[in-house]
Chains A and B, each alone.
Chain A
């Protein structure tokens, strides 16, 4: 089997995957729910919702760490997904032997801890008292909560990844960027394998409020499972969610040599930054268009070869309109007949994790020959003519997938995956 691509670079295989979302822990539970059209969006129970415009989310509430703060939960999510992925790849649990790329939310000292420290302080001197209390408390868990390196450091310890782990944020494209960095490292022949993880357990009250203030969230609280409705006319924002996805990326040559099962091929990654606005995309969609083209070019493929699109599909008025515009420009008339669905209709927007979670689901789509639906598609947006695989899963032979991730700050990253190397 040929183990390099048309550019002479090592082909990058996926040999292990793991996932956690509000739908459950692990690929099996998630896939059953996803193909069953079940939503994981539910009323917020982790904190009171008084004064909040949005009272629903796709939080992961079933883990012991779910109430432990954003940092602890993000670690737990990353850890569970990594364990599943490394296990599936058949690699030693504590000696991964390649670098770690972790997409994670920016972390801060949790409010509960901030309030607790202040209560312990002499309170006479504002922030000075708080800092003094922090110094005197000298709790390493609180310090870790304020350090961006801490989660990756713990993961690197546990899994025995090689070198200095990279933690990254490209907002809602972070998960895809982690995969891109791993792919590039393998192509540079720096390593035989890389562990790419996207994890996000940061659905705190403050995060919810911040997104609310930007009018980004759905306020359709009455029927939580119906709130995320990508490409529908009455969509009104995304649903904040948590989750994680992990992928073991490996040079095809190395994977074959050790007899690993090839779950899929990471064919190409493309990105393009937008300079228009901090939260809105350029009206002509040119950066997203360029990102799709860059991914296709990197994959050495034409748009004709894409069999299915795993949409960014956030259910915000802006994203879905722009994603449609961009894809129409790239694929022309053919876009009406390419199935495209949004996992976010069921799991919400897992932010830093989304690109990795959706890459896992993209590979499963190819392997299972089943496309998960876009649920809640009852009132189509007439301006968006797409085959969104409405409401019910569809059996289909899917050999290739384009997965889109777009984020605040002008981040646009697209991945092209294939079922087989050939």
Chain B
């Protein structure tokens, strides 16, 4: 796998290989009293065709907000305050609502978690997939139904012909997840977002689903943003990994870089958390661990939880620095060696 370098704020000239570029995205949530909560701060990303970028972070880091903001539909009551989302040469945010709608589902699609609550309970699964094909690809009903059936076969649903007429409540979690994947991929989109798609499933089913998604994405040479809370899954599955904390990317690099040479204390803490070595776990967490703060403009947002925090960390907000080719971290004192 070729190494690709990812830099913040610099315009890339190789736009033909870049599927989606996000520049300086900012999203905030207004509150009743007090200032708005900044959910995502000045975030930039680039994903090339045929690669999978993993985005790892804990609950509340802003992952789902990011996923939906890419489609210009942040969760209510969020508001996008800045940034460009450039797909296929055009900034999505500048398009008309109708144009945006056309691209959603056809060029950019999203695989959602909790599939059974996201599917319309009164329409058969087959019809739901076929509708998306019919509308986006402008084909007739019969052809759309055929495509839907084909997708169901591709996602390896058992007995696909019968399942076409099934309703969402009749499916198990794993099957419903496959259906959602089928829906997301039926129009062969160039960019797929998978928002925590495997989290509610059994471990064995998880593995199958992940393999499936990767195969299908590679088959169509789509770019994929794979969002997860589990850094271990990102390790097995993604070409590049970005670690997100408190609305910012704190480390980003290729799979080898991140897992062989993690530099940011938070990344290390995430990996240590899965380790069997209790001493290692204890080393990288502080005893008074709490949720991510927001609005910490004058400091590193991780400073309050970082066991290696120093004076500079509390007074200066760090920027993403390139530490090696294709490897960036947002830390004043990145870890040299474990």
A is bound by B: no
The residues of B with any CB-CB pair to A shorter than 8 Å are: none
